[in-house]
Amino acid sequence: MHVVILEDEAVVARRLARLTRDILGDTLESLHCVADLSTAALHLQHHRDALLFLDLNLAGQDGFEVLRSALAEPFQTVIVSANTDRAIEAFELGVIDFVAKPFSVERLTKAIDRVRQGVRQEQARYLAVSLAGKVEMIPVASVVAIHGDDDYSNIEGVDGRRHLHKKTLTALECVLPPEFRRVHRSHIVNLQHVDRILTLEGGARVILLKNGTRVPVSRAGAKALSSELI
Amino acid sequence: MSLTALALTSVLASAAPAYPAVGLVQVREGDDASWSSRNFDDADWETRPYWRVDPQGRRVWIRAHITMPPGLDTRSKPLGVYFFATASYDAWWNGVRVGSNGVPAPNAAGETAGKLDTVLFIPPDLIERDNVLALRLSSFHLPLRLGGPMQGLYLRTYGYTKSETLREKAPTMVAIGALLLGMLYFGGMYFSNRRDRSSLLLTLLTLAILGQLIAESVRAFVPYSYPFHIPRLLTILAFASLASVLLVAYVADRFAPGWRKRLVVAAVALDAVLIATSPGFDSKTAFVIIAGALLSSVAAIVGIRRRAPGARMVLAAMVVATGLCILDGTDFLDRTWYLEAVVLVLLLFWQHLRSVREAQKRRPKLELELLKQQIQPHFLMNSLTALTEWVESDPAVGVRMIEALAEEFRSISSMTGAATVSMAQEIELCRVHLRVMSLRQNKPFELRADTVRLDARVPPAIFHTLIENALTHNHYTDGAVFLLEETSATSGQRVYRLRTPSTRTSNATPAGKGHQYVKARLRDVFGEDWQFFSGPHPPGEWIDAIEVPAR
């Protein structure tokens, strides 16, 4: 795993680094302490298994600005913060975990495990998408389906607009609410927007969304869905 | 026109509307026994209004020809001649001597000074249709020359009594009472807190107005000989000038402390010019009061621009005072000014109470704010996280950090109840905070304060708050040295400058909670008499400057 720590409290950063090394052992591929998000992105850009520890209070600024930008990046973000009263907000924006200061090695292990094992936090209400240098927050309720596009994800909205997200389908799946289902290696659908399952000639199945889009579905996916849709 | 004269005119006018007025009289300098006779021919004498006659430094006669209207009852309501002048005199009614006041004479040695305000009883049998009032006057005992020595000459019913004077004077008595209460209240406030300059100024202001009012009222209660008139007028003028300067000092102190010295100097200079150039005592007195009200308005306008509470109301009071003074003319000094002074004192009294009440409400809020700084999550949780790291990685340092944290909490809690602390305490608090921060950041932070007097007093934790602000808004990769300097401003104020290295990219002043706390604390202790500046000082330095009174 590749880990970056964005934290301006020197001793806290040192603690995060020390404990991360202890927890990940040989599976830690790289570890950097940085002072800003762009440096963090540089270190994590090309790794599928990448994690950012982010402090929400950097040099007196509102860390949520930084957080929104971080969430649009391909890596997963774990907040380490003294201000626990904004944890719910952070989860809604799509962080994988929120670690309150001060923290123990056990609590940090739990956070790292969530990333390693892809445990779903299921609380995101928005997906952060960077668009022409700006971060746009898309409400998950307005998302019909998400389609895999190499290492990116293609988000399809109810309004027909499409947004490219830097995260993989797997990374996004970890934060999405339960009504989002991975029905295929390359597709996630929002159950709220499913019309029915069609069986094509030759037995292949597709999901017909309410907006008319047809989404391929794997055999296992179809089986799981059909019981739920009836 | 004197207070008594006015009072008499207004009250007696309605009781007996038909008394003839005395206006033009025949005047001649010198002395001749025959000039008292009713039938003496004074046609070749000079004719002029009696108030233009000047008996100062000479002996002069006036003869007033008075025609009684038919049907005027002078038997059941005997006639009196009310004469107010700074002169001694002998009086004849139709050639019969009806009285005297002192002894008029051709020179100072011969003259015995008479009273200022006098009444002559005119026996009913002497009154005919056409009458002559002859007065032999002299005035050698005035220490200063007066512009209007002849203040009043009226015919009215004889026997205007003391009780009537008292009834007339009731509003004045109320004013004296109110001013006295105000003075006692503000005096008490001052003696309970000797640093409360506002209360001291208000005490002196009410005292000055009270002095003016008492000097003014003395005339109605204590008949005095005319030479005393000058010291009395001088006393009134002196109290009025004092009140004018004190009013400016007080209003400036509250609303425009930066302008206080200039405004007070301006008030003194303006009063001096007005006293030197205005013609009579009454106009001198009225003008210094107007000058005081105008300069106070300037201070109140500065206050309004600074959004100081109560400044608008004080400005309104000053404008009304000036307006009434101009509209009322001579009446102003006799009555209106004192009613206004009472209203003003009541207004200031009310404002003072309100500000005291607000200060009482503010104090616990500030204490809470100070405690909250210490338990706010960013400080506390980051410190505890760093502490867990030291405990696990280097327990000895962990113990040092626990000690530093404990010391900081102790230091803060010893300050919470206090309105001010010594600079020694404040610097110690800053240093222990920097010790905590050094351990938290594992970098050296230091405060140097070599030029600061340690016994001077400041509100608690203001520099602590500013240092904390600097640590929050800057990213010090290798630690930092903060400099706290004290200098004296030309105005005699203490100036503290906190110089911090700055890594901020934006020059905008963060108007955060820290600055609010500092300002609220300064206001709590120094009223409006402080200044706070915070801004970048290139290259790479940030300056927080605080200016407070030297005391």
ipTM: 0.83
**pLDDT reported for residue B16:** 47
**pLDDT reported for residue B109:** 93
Instruction: Name the residue facing B388 among A10, A100, A102 (closest C-beta).
Output: A102
CB contact under 8 A, B389 and A8: no
Say yes or no: A23 and A107 in one domain: yes
In angstroms, the separation between the Cα of residue B459 and the nearest Cα of chain A is 25
Say yes or no: A7 and A66 in one domain: yes
CB contact under 8 A, B385 and A103: yes
CB contact under 8 A, A11 and B510: no
Cβ contacts of B265 within 8 Å, gap of 6 or more: none
- Domain end, chosen from A117, A142, A159, is at A117
Amino acid letter for position B119: V
Say yes or no: A140 and A196 in one domain: yes
Beta bridge mates, A13: none
Interface residues of chain A, partner chain B, Cβ below 8 Å: 8-12, 14-15, 18, 35, 57, 59-60, 82-85, 100-104
Say yes or no: A113 and A133 in one domain: no
What pTM was estimated for this model as a whole?
Answer: 0.61
Do A52 and A40 touch, CB atoms closer than 8 A?
yes
| A50-54 and A76-81 beta bridge pairing | parallel
DSSP string computed for B257-298: GGGHHHHHHHHHHHHHHHHHH-SSHHHHHHHHHHHHHHHHHH
| A97-100 and A76-81 beta bridge pairing | parallel
| B88-93 and B130-138 beta bridge pairing | antiparallel
Say yes or no: A113 and A131 in one domain: no
Q: For residue A189, give its domain range.
A: 126-229
B401: left (phi over 0), alpha (psi -120 to 50) or beta: alpha
pLDDT in tens, A11-66: 999 999 999 999 999 999 999 998 888 888 888 887 878 899 999 877 666 678 88
More confident residue, B225 or A201: B225
A contacts of B392 (beta carbons < 8 Å):
15
Say yes or no: A109 and A141 in one domain: no
Say yes or no: A107 and A207 in one domain: no
**pLDDT reported for residue B1:** 40
Q: In what order do the strands lie in the sheet with A205-209?
A: A194-199, A205-209, A214-216
**pLDDT reported for residue B509:** 53
B contacts of A104 (beta carbons < 8 Å):
388
% of residues, chain A, pLDDT over 70: 97
Say yes or no: A204 and A151 in one domain: yes
Count of the separate structural domains present in chain A: 2
CATH value at residue A196: 2.40.50.1020
**pLDDT reported for residue B165:** 65
Closest of A56, A57, A59, A93 to residue A73, by C-alpha = A93
Say yes or no: A77 and A157 in one domain: no
**pLDDT reported for residue B3:** 44
Amino acid letter for position A36: D
CB contact under 8 A, A15 and B388: yes
> Burial level of B351, CB count in 10 A (0-12/13-18/19+)?
middle
Q: One digit per residue, pLDDT tens: chain B, 551 residues?
A: 444 444 445 444 445 457 898 989 999 999 998 999 999 999 999 999 999 999 999 999 999 999 998 888 888 888 999 999 999 999 999 999 999 999 999 999 999 999 999 999 999 999 999 999 999 999 999 988 888 899 889 898 887 665 666 677 777 788 888 888 888 888 888 888 777 788 888 899 999 999 998 898 888 888 899 999 999 999 999 999 999 999 999 999 888 888 888 999 999 999 999 999 988 888 898 899 889 999 999 999 998 988 887 889 889 988 888 888 788 766 677 767 777 888 888 888 788 778 778 777 777 888 888 877 777 888 899 999 999 999 999 999 999 999 999 999 999 888 888 889 999 999 999 999 999 999 999 999 999 999 899 999 999 999 999 999 888 888 888 899 999 999 887 767 899 999 999 887 655 555 577 888 899 899 888 877 888 998 888 778 899 999 998 86
Other CB atoms within a 10 A radius of the CB of residue A124 amount to: 23
A132: left (phi over 0), alpha (psi -120 to 50) or beta: left
In what helix (H) or strand (E) does residue B373 lie, and over which residues does it extend? helix B337-375
- Domain end, chosen from A117, A146, A163, is at A117
Q: Which residue of B has its CA nearest to A57?
A: B378
Say yes or no: A6 and A112 in one domain: yes
- Domain end, chosen from A117, A149, A173, is at A117
Interface residues of chain B, partner chain A, Cβ below 8 Å: 377-378, 380-382, 384-390, 392-393, 439-443, 472-475, 510, 512
> Residue B171's Cα: distance from chain center in Å?
21
In angstroms, the separation between the Cα of residue B510 and the nearest Cα of chain A is 10
Do B134 and B65 touch, CB atoms closer than 8 A?
no
**pLDDT reported for residue B238:** 95
Find the mean pLDDT for residues A182-208: 88
CB contact under 8 A, A11 and B473: no
CA dist., res. B346 & res. B185, Å (int): 11
Find the mean pLDDT for residues A136-154: 90
Long-range CB contacts (within 8 A, 24+) of A201-209: A207/A183, A209/A144, A209/A145
CB contact under 8 A, B440 and A57: no
Say yes or no: A95 and A143 in one domain: no
Say yes or no: A144 and A70 in one domain: no
CA dist., res. A211 & res. B372, Å (int): 54
**pLDDT reported for residue B508:** 54
pLDDT surpasses 80 at A69 = yes
**pLDDT reported for residue B512:** 76
B contacts of A85 (beta carbons < 8 Å):
377
Other CB atoms within a 10 A radius of the CB of residue A120 amount to: 15
